[in-house]
Structure formats: structure tokens, C-alpha cells
């Protein structure tokens, strides 16, 4: 039986939805303390862990930050394209890439349980010569 989202998980999701940039657990904590002055870091981490388990958010390993999951299909692993200039994060489904990575890992007997593929660079809006900036 699937567990319901707690009130705290809903509040964390709402804060993440308000931001275009990835948020660290401590940034979430600081923002949420306006309404919950005694809120502890462990409460935020528990909510984030539960949301990741449900597939509602991604943890960006390289940034130690979190973003809302944009794609509906939670079974597919994603490639996360992170702009080092503006901080934008693009979530892309890349099933063939994930299959290739899993197959390569399996050659040595390794059985992947989770894929985290992050690519850092510059988004189209931040590329040199872009006049949209």
C-alpha cells in the first residue's frame, strides 16, 4: 500500500515548485522556518528522502540540491543537464543512454539500482553570442 505524502512533504514540494533553481536542504529549511521556527534539518531530510523514494523529486548529486521531477514517467531514469552559468536544470529522459550505462556496468557483474547522470555546461540561453540574454 502506498503511503500518503505528509503535510511536511507537501510543503517541501510547494517550496521547490516556487524556485526555478535547485535548492539545498538548508535553503529549504531557511525558507520554511518562517512558518515553522522550530523546524529541524532532520525533518527536511526525511521529507526529501520520502519524496525521492516516491519519484517526486531529483537529488542533484554534484550540487547537493533538489529539484522537482518534471517527467510523469517515474520509472525512467533521467539525464540532468545543469547550466553552470545560470543554474538552470533540464531533465531529459534518455532510456538508451541508461540501457548502455547499465549494460556496461553489468559486464563486470555490477547490478545498478539507481542511475544518476548529470552533465554540466552552458544552456542555450547562456551560450556566448546569444542575444537573448
- Mean pLDDT across the chain: 89
Q: What is the pLDDT of residue 133?
A: 44
N-term to C-term CA, the chain: 48
The CATH fold assigned to 1-69 is: Arc Repressor Mutant, subunit A (1.10.10)
Phi and psi angles of residue 130, each rounded to the nearest 5 degrees, phi first: -75, 125
Q: Is 3 helix (H, G, I), strand (E, B) or coil?
A: coil
Q: pLDDT tens digit string along 58-82?
A: 999 999 999 999 877 655 678 999 9
Q: How far apart are the C-alpha atoms of 2 and 127, rounded to whole Å? A: 43
Buried (b) or exposed (e) across 52-88, using 16+ Cβ within 10 A? eeeebbbbbeebebbbbbeeeeeeebbbbbbbeeeeb
Give me the DSSP letters along 83-116: ETTT--EEEEE-HHHHHHHHHHHHTTT---S---
Residue 117 CA to residue 111 CA, distance in Å, equals 16
Assess whether pLDDT exceeds 50 at residue 88: yes
Domain at 73-133: CATH architecture? 2-Layer Sandwich (3.30)
Of 49-53, 70-74, 79-83, 120-124, which range is least confident?
Answer: 70-74
What pLDDT band is residue 95 in, cutting at 50, 70 and 90? confident
> Are 108 and 101 spatial neighbours (Cβ–Cβ below 8 Å)?
no
Domain boundaries of the chain, sorted by first residue: 1-69, 73-133
pTM exceeds 0.75 for this model: yes
Amino acid at each position: 500500500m502506498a503511503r500518503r505524502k505528509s503535510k511536511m512533504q507537501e510543503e517541501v514540494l510547494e517550496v521547490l515548485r516556487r524556485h526555478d533553481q535547485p535548492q539545498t536542504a538548508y535553503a529549504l529549511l531557511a525558507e520554511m522556518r518562517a512558518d515553522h521556527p522550530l523546524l529541524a534539518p532532520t525533518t527536511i531530510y526525511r521529507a526529501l528522502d520520502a519524496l525521492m523514494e516516491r519519484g517526486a523529486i531529483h537529488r542533484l548529486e554534484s550540487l547537493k540540491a533538489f529539484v522537482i521531477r518534471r517527467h510523469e514517467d517515474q520509472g525512467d531514469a533521467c539525464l540532468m543537464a545543469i547550466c553552470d552559468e545560470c543554474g538552470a536544470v533540464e531533465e531529459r529522459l534518455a532510456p538508451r543512454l541508461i540501457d548502455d550505462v547499465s549494460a556496461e556496468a553489468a559486464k563486470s557483474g555490477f547490478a545498478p539500482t539507481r542511475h544518476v547522470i548529470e552533465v554540466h555546461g552552458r544552456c542555450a540561453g547562456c551560450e556566448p553570442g546569444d542575444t537573448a540574454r
